[in-house]
A and B are shown apart, each in its own frame.
Chain A
Amino acid sequence: AQSVSQHNHHVILSEAASLELGCNYSYGGTVNLFWYVQYPGQHLQLLLKYFSGDPLVKGIKGFEAEFIKSKFSFNLRKPSVQWSDTAEYFCAVYNTGGFKTIFGAGTRLFVKA
């Protein structure tokens, strides 16, 4: 069965530290890949997405993600985090053949000021 794995459930960083959140998926076919962010008490918002082309995708607020097809990975990165990046981050994979989007369990990021 298709699955999405986010390696870290909780991450604590200090401001200005670099961030990398891991995401791996199990589906071998064509996929669309997404990262969503959920700020405390709010709904999920789309951070960035990958469909095809350049495997390095840039999103809002300085976030980027790299698709490595051979590793079935789509890791999220940010060179320097801010306190306002404190949120939960969800990786999601859309299986173009099955028309379903599967979300990972989420990674809670806490940035210390």
Chain B
Amino acid sequence: DAGVIQSPRHEVTEMGQEVTLRCKPISGHNSLFWYRQTMMRGLELLIYFNNNVPIDDSGMPEDRFSAKMPNASFSTLKIQPSEPRDSAVYFCASSPARTNYGYTFGSGTRLTVV
């Protein structure tokens, strides 16, 4: 099992550019979560999906952020346009069912917006 796979590992982009982060959950996991981690705000839940359907996106900071899960094996988090305050580590996590038995996190994408 390769675990939760995120790409890219690092992304440096200029303010105003579009950024797309990618996540492949563990096969068979029904739930997928996007988190953002910063020194100031800690770990924040942005959005989560259950069976490819967005359940709660109340954590998405602004309309500049959007997330999709077109199938059970792939999700994207897009920021358009990006701003320096979006700089953070973005983690994707998956779990086997809606009931939380513990998440498996990906290695994260470190985003720097200059």
**Contact indicator B91/A49 (Cβ below 8 Å):** no
**Contact indicator B100/A32 (Cβ below 8 Å):** yes
Q: Which stretch in B12-20, B69-77, B79-87, B103-111 binds the other chain? A: B103-111
| Interface size classification for chain B | 10 to 19
Q: Which stretch in A16-24, A40-48, A67-75, A78-86 binds the other chain? A: A40-48
Given contacts A99-B55, A100-B56, contact A46 B102 (CB under 8 A): yes
Mark contacts of B40-62 with chain A using CB atoms, 8 A cut-off: 1 yes-contact digit, 0 otherwise: 00110100000000011000000
Chain A, residue nearest B58 (CB): A100
**Contact indicator B42/A46 (Cβ below 8 Å):** no
Whether, in the assembled complex, A34 has its beta carbon less than 8 Å from a beta carbon of chain B, the answer is yes
Please report whether the interface of chain A is mostly helix, strand, loop or mixed according to DSSP: strand
Q: Using Cβ atoms and an 8 Å threshold, which residues of chain B touch A34? A: 100, 102
B45, B91, B93: the one within 8 Å of A100 (CB) = B45
Whether, in the assembled complex, B98 has its beta carbon less than 8 Å from a beta carbon of chain A, the answer is yes
A43, A51, A94, A105: the one within 8 Å of B42 (CB) = A105
Q: Using Cβ atoms and an 8 Å threshold, which residues of chain A touch B93? A: 44
**Contact indicator B91/A43 (Cβ below 8 Å):** yes
Whether, in the assembled complex, A90 has its beta carbon less than 8 Å from a beta carbon of chain B, the answer is yes
Interface residues of A in 1-22 (CB under 8 A from B): none
**Contact indicator B56/A43 (Cβ below 8 Å):** no
**Contact indicator A94/B105 (Cβ below 8 Å):** no
**Contact indicator B42/A49 (Cβ below 8 Å):** no
Given contacts A94-B100, A99-B98, contact A44 B45 (CB under 8 A): no
Residues of B within 8 A of A (CB): 33, 42-43, 45, 55-56, 91, 93, 98-108
- 9 other contacts beyond A94-B100, A99-B99, with CB at 8 A cut-off? A32-B99, A32-B101, A43-B91, A43-B108, A44-B93, A96-B99, A99-B100, A102-B45, A103-B43
Can you name 15 A-B pairs with beta carbons within 8 Å? A32-B100, A43-B91, A43-B105, A43-B108, A44-B105, A45-B105, A46-B103, A46-B104, A49-B101, A51-B101, A94-B100, A99-B56, A101-B103, A102-B45, A106-B43
